[in-house]
Structure 1
């Protein structure tokens, strides 16, 4: 969901060098992105010494601007300690001192989509965005990944069907719709003619997938834990 904002940044500042800091498991989602000039990787399990090494690496880059799209504890600390000329992030409880510019994640009376949130964040940093919805850049699948999905679709009887893929996991509680709501949505979709609903998520979502499938066991298929990020 951050790649539209990254694309907007590159379009507004074509000569700027854009560095993307990302956790190792998610590097595949941004590798090869034409709008990103450099990637700094964060190991999934990081101790104090490793974190201090990361901060030294970030400081060596001498960034003019650091924008925190994530807002989590580690991301906010990296932003705060980066020594960037300008630090922008979301207005979150307990993190007011971490950023020079803070943007609310919710507007009064209505939620804001993550893509719009990120666009608002770069606008607040003084960067003009002329296109309201810049492109979402996704990595291309490798041949073996495409072949595996084709075989999986054939084996599960999905060829020729109108497939709706429903991701049932959530990294944060405030993003979690709950199994009951997801089940009702999945059942509503499955009732449409010719539609097959495929539930996806991590291996940790397998039990939730079975709970959701109780609404329409004959129409809902679970692939939770069976696909990698690119295959998703």
Structure 2
């Protein structure tokens, strides 16, 4: 069976699909091929999941330049699919599902922008199914009930991800820049939304307070190249422990390798947070504009700690705070957050 996976974006949403596809891979009898349609900027993410045999890149930002759209359609239709599953539920993803010519086109019944009109099968997860990961898993269960039942698919967790040897070597080299044998804290200090980003002064205060409780603490900062300067400013504010700014220095595979050598992560709601959770890292996650019950770090009960904004508008789901800049972090005690970080670090299994 050849299955087309349509989940073009975003960073965290792509990672949210991994557990559902791991369930599909172990439930549907071999041979099973997975082809994944994803935005070109995220092309290296799906290959972290074992079992993805082909990636088709969607040129979202230049779809109408130099015949990019025509070339994408040609590649999409270069092979035949038995099933297409739209985990995105938007107009463009529904259209891709239809353009694939797959005889079975599967998606959620409740979608935005009319995507469900392109499906041959529509499913509705139970109302108790709130988190994005759980909804994706439910879609696979509903679309392939017999196969999942036969495979004993009751328990679903994060599948092991593939970290290339060269990516692990890069992470090992960065770790050597933080000498010692103390635990390693990854810090995701930024986010694409202003309303999801706690200030660098808050992160500096938390890291310093953690260092006072955890001897030998080592810290690396992760983020995009556009966040590197902010990372340098944050690193300069922390003198209590070693801090290495790796914002903009890693690709997705190297970022996964970093998390494979981290003991915990202090983070805003961001794509790296979801990858860290997928790698089994305990996250202490700060949530302002968004709802952690829907898109928080996913894992076994008790693995992660969520710190919610005390703002009465939480969660507002606005990119910019409707009450003004910097309102979401107000009332969040860095010492209390540091205590949660220290607890996760102390209880984490020692990593090489």
Q: How does the TM-score come out when normalised to structure 1? A: 0.73
Distance 1:73 1:192, change over 3 A: farther
Distance 1:185 1:54, change over 3 A: farther
Unaligned runs of 5+ in 2: 1-14, 256-352
Aligned ranges 1:43-122 → 2 under 5 Å: 43=59, 45-48=61-64, 49-71=67-89, 74-84=92-102, 85-89=104-108, 91-96=110-115, 97-99=117-119, 100-101=121-122, 103=124, 112=131, 114-122=132-140
CA drift of 1:62 comes to 3.6
Distance 1:214 1:6, change over 3 A: same
Q: Would the aligned equivalents of 1:19 and 1:40 in 2 still touch at CA under 8 Å? A: yes
| DSSP 3-state at the match of 1:155 | coil
Which of 19, 28, 31 is 1:4 aligned to? 19
1:35 matched residue in structure 2: 51
Q: How does the TM-score come out when normalised to structure 2? A: 0.52
CA drift of 1:43 comes to 4.4
CA drift of 1:203 comes to 0.8
Distance 1:102 1:197, change over 3 A: farther
Unaligned runs of 5+ in 1: none
Which of 216, 222, 225 is 1:200 aligned to? 222
CA drift of 1:141 comes to 2.5
In structure 1, what is the Cα distance between the partners aligned to 2:93 and 2:142? 18
In structure 2, what is the Cα distance between the partners aligned to 1:91 and 1:140? 35
What is the root-mean-square deviation of aligned Cα atoms in Å?
A: 3.7
Q: Would the aligned equivalents of 2:50 and 2:161 in 1 still touch at CA under 8 Å? A: no
How many residue pairs get aligned? The number is 225
Farther off after superposition, 212-221 or 74-83: 212-221
In structure 2, what is the Cα distance between the partners aligned to 1:185 and 1:93? 39
CA drift of 1:133 comes to 2.0
CA drift of 1:222 comes to 2.5
| DSSP 3-state at the match of 2:37 | strand
Runs ≥4 in structure 1, deviation > 6 angstroms? none
